[in-house]
Chains A and B, each alone.
Chain A
Amino acid sequence: MTDTVLFLLVDGLTNGLVYALLALSLVLVFTVTRVVNIAQGEYVMLGALTLADLLQGRMPGTLYLLIGGLALCAILDVGRWRRDWRQASLYTGGLIVAGIIALALTRGALALHLPVIGMMVVALILVAPLGALIYRFTVHPIPNATTIVFVIISVGVSMSVQGLGLLIWGANPYPVDPIAAGGVMMGPVFIRYQSFAILVTALLAMGGLYVFSEFTLVGKALQASAMNRLGAQFCGIPVNATGALAFLLAAAFSAVSGMLLAPLITANYEMGFMVGLKGFVGGAMGGLIDYPLSLVGVMIVGGLESTSAYVASAYRDVLVFSLLIPILLWRNTRSRVEAR
């Protein structure tokens, strides 16, 4: 019996950490841009499948998405050529250079047969800019839209990206190599090395974000636009650029979580959405604005998921998503107290 409890605890914690990276992304995006990003989970899928492609020596399909997105960016910018051709040519040139760099990097990585960690970095460089591109296409044109409009847009983005994933990779699952194969027996419980990798990476990511936003100018600008968008604008902070940066960082965190998760469950086109939603339930605990509370939330989600799958497996998702109701009620009473 004790080993059962230990198993559930370890797995709950591992999954909680995966969701934690998602919750981190959601909070980051929401605070800076006021977008409740339902599509956040899709970067999990993109990260996992890109890594799978790289490890199996194929040209990753993400490259098509990236180059297509950059091309679309250039097309959207076409109006500027008349007004200011110097700036416009610089911008377009930059996009072309970015595309070439991405292509060269991928080819180089495939030729060198980098180890898993090296391939993860390459995959990260390919996936993270997609976040900024999606910001450019869906949020940048309508900065003053209401939250509900952004929610609907993000649902659309989620469906489109998942559809593209199906088109590029097909419905087959791809096995992905872990950072370190095997595991260790701790008492009666077998723990995979990958679980430790998840723990270390999640802690590094959280620490990194903290250091970045507290001790760098760009990070402080990000924080400022999160606290007060208008005020930040008055201080000369380019809020559109900070929005794009938030999307980019969030995409990076989510992609990392996908790459860590993939060796445990394989990579496939529909893996992202559920992970994204569970991260969202955890993030809701912190009202999508509070990092520490969101962490508590995702750990509760991970633990509840693992115990409910044990106790009543047919109802495990029902139980996890029902958790939203008490969380929202609790948030509601709390905000009322604060208002008073």
Chain B
Amino acid sequence: MKILSVAAAVAALTISVSVHAADKPELRIGSVVAMTGPASALGLPEKNALELLQEQLAKDTSLPFTVKFITYDDGSDPTKAVNNVRKLITEDRAHVVICCTTTPTSMAILETVTQAKVPNISLALGQSVIEPVQERHWIFKTPSTDQLQVTGLVNDMVKRGIKKVAFLGLEDSFGEGGWIAMQSVAKAKGVEIVASERFSRTDTNFTPQALKVRQSNPGAVYIHAIPPSAALVHQALKRVGYTGPIYHSGGSANNAFIAIGKQDVEGALLGTTPVLVYKDLPDSNPLKPVIAKFAALYEKRFNVPKVDIFPGQSWDAGNITLKAAEEVVKAGVKLDDLDASRAALRDKIEGVKNFVGVGGIFNYSPTDHLGLDHRSTFISVVKNGEFRLYESK
């Protein structure tokens, strides 16, 4: 069955269905996501959300333009991503590019989109994709960052009166991102980092690092990893008798974490986007209805029990593009004039204010291409094998 589904994904390499309507200009949204390869667990839901958006638009005739989606697969490979983005820009004449799923692929295409002067919305976690902003004039992103999530978690530690924290992270670029974020946040909040231990995804034993952490006697532990190692490190800490609070990055906020950690990860605290915990939010929160609507659509269309964080990222990217394009057309710029409309689109994306998406409330500005703040960052706690909203004391 799995072979079949992979084959289907490969066959669906190119999805281009245009929404026809008479006498309206055409907006072309090109996207490159990882439908195959190691990051396909993230890329496939992202592709699904774009497909869903396309189907929704087919029913909607209120827009002053028609929308054409062109989606390619990069196989989680930076070289392929660059080639496909080039193809989107020159052959498919896309107005906006949504790319890519991972930080390495998103970094690889920076040069290409900047030179061609095409606005790009990345779906990667890494902050380096959009910073420094003056060099990333054409790049925006929708997922939250390590910095934002770590800040939320460290704030909670400070509230609890914890002065010392131990860091445990993967030794790849993902873990390094967490380490950099932790160092700067801890310094700013006056929390001391008493241990910093590393491990890799393919390690067979995590107890030595857990022992070292226990010995440093921290008030809290922060783990920056993805399952399985995130859950295995958590188990190792329990095994050596560590009883304090254990915080995790958003990388652990998925079902695999609970499936592997089982009862050992009860009480784990995770930095997360609102998608994971929207049901627990108060009704007054503007995010709740937006996420609930998207979740209902997505879960019904793709027959999944619970939507995770990835489809929302490309859904937001698509909707931000549509909002900017509406403004562009209203301002009188012709979409047929490719260079002018690409530049106008970029300016309008940067001008997006208080846009309530699935991943949070976006406020882009010339100095901020992430657009998210503390209102979009939540802490969730594992309770009876489920992610619930954590009410900080």
Answer whether A64 and B3 are a contact pair too, CB < 8 Å, given A265-B228, A310-B209: yes
B240 located at the interface, meaning its Cβ lies under 8 Å from any Cβ of chain A in the complex:
yes
Interface size class of A (residues with CB under 8 A): 35 or more
A265 to B229, CA, bound (A): 8
Contact A173 B260 (CB under 8 A): yes
A225 to B262, CA, bound (A): 49
A interface residues with partner B (beta carbon < 8 Å): 4, 7-8, 11, 14-15, 18, 61, 64, 166-173, 175, 190, 261, 264-266, 268, 270-271, 273-275, 305-307, 309-310, 313-314, 316-317
B25 located at the interface, meaning its Cβ lies under 8 Å from any Cβ of chain A in the complex:
no
Answer whether A309 and B205 are a contact pair too, CB < 8 Å, given A4-B211, A170-B41, A190-B239: yes
Interface residue ranges of B160-211 to A (CB < 8 Å): 171, 197-205, 207-209, 211
Answer whether A313 and B3 are a contact pair too, CB < 8 Å, given A173-B228, A173-B256: no
B6 located at the interface, meaning its Cβ lies under 8 Å from any Cβ of chain A in the complex:
yes
Chain A residues closer than 8 Å to B380, beta-carbon distance: none
- How far is the CB of A233 from the nearest CB of chain B, in Å? 40
Contact A8 B211 (CB under 8 A): yes
Closest to B211 in A: A4
- How far is the CB of A143 from the nearest CB of chain B, in Å? 33
Closest to A273 in B: B202
Contact A11 B260 (CB under 8 A): no
A268 to B232, CA, bound (A): 13
Contact A265 B204 (CB under 8 A): yes
Answer whether A168 and B3 are a contact pair too, CB < 8 Å, given A173-B227, A270-B201, A313-B198: yes
Closest to B239 in A: A190
B interface residues with partner A (beta carbon < 8 Å): 2-3, 6, 37-41, 171, 197-205, 207-209, 211-212, 215, 227-228, 232, 239-240, 256, 259-260, 262
Answer whether A167 and B6 are a contact pair too, CB < 8 Å, given A7-B240, A317-B200: yes
Answer whether A11 and B38 are a contact pair too, CB < 8 Å, given A265-B228, A313-B199: no
Nearest 8 A-B pairs (CB), nearest first? A309-B208, A310-B208, A173-B228, A266-B228, A274-B202, A313-B197, A314-B198, A313-B198
Answer whether A170 and B40 are a contact pair too, CB < 8 Å, given A270-B202, A313-B197, A313-B198: yes
Closest to A190 in B: B239
Chain B residues closer than 8 Å to A8, beta-carbon distance: 207-208, 211
Answer whether A313 and B209 are a contact pair too, CB < 8 Å, given A171-B40, A171-B41: yes
- How far is the CB of A289 from the nearest CB of chain B, in Å? 26
Answer whether A265 and B208 are a contact pair too, CB < 8 Å, given A166-B38, A167-B3, A173-B260: no
Contact B260 A15 (CB under 8 A): no
Answer whether A265 and B211 are a contact pair too, CB < 8 Å, given A166-B38, A167-B6, A313-B197: no
Contact A172 B240 (CB under 8 A): no
- How far is the CB of A171 from the nearest CB of chain B, in Å? 5
Answer whether A171 and B38 are a contact pair too, CB < 8 Å, given A18-B204, A265-B228: yes
A136 to B200, CA, bound (A): 35
- How far is the CB of B152 from the nearest CB of chain A, in Å? 26
Q: Which of A7, A172, A274 contacts B207 (CB 8 A)?
A: A7
A7 to B207, CA, bound (A): 8
Given A167-B6, A316-B208; 4 other pairs, CB 8 A cutoff: A7-B207, A7-B211, A11-B208, A175-B228
A and B contact pairs by CB, cutoff 8 A, 11 listed: A7-B207, A7-B240, A64-B3, A171-B39, A172-B41, A173-B256, A271-B202, A313-B197, A313-B199, A313-B212, A314-B198
A338 to B83, CA, bound (A): 58
A245 to B203, CA, bound (A): 31
Contact B207 A11 (CB under 8 A): yes
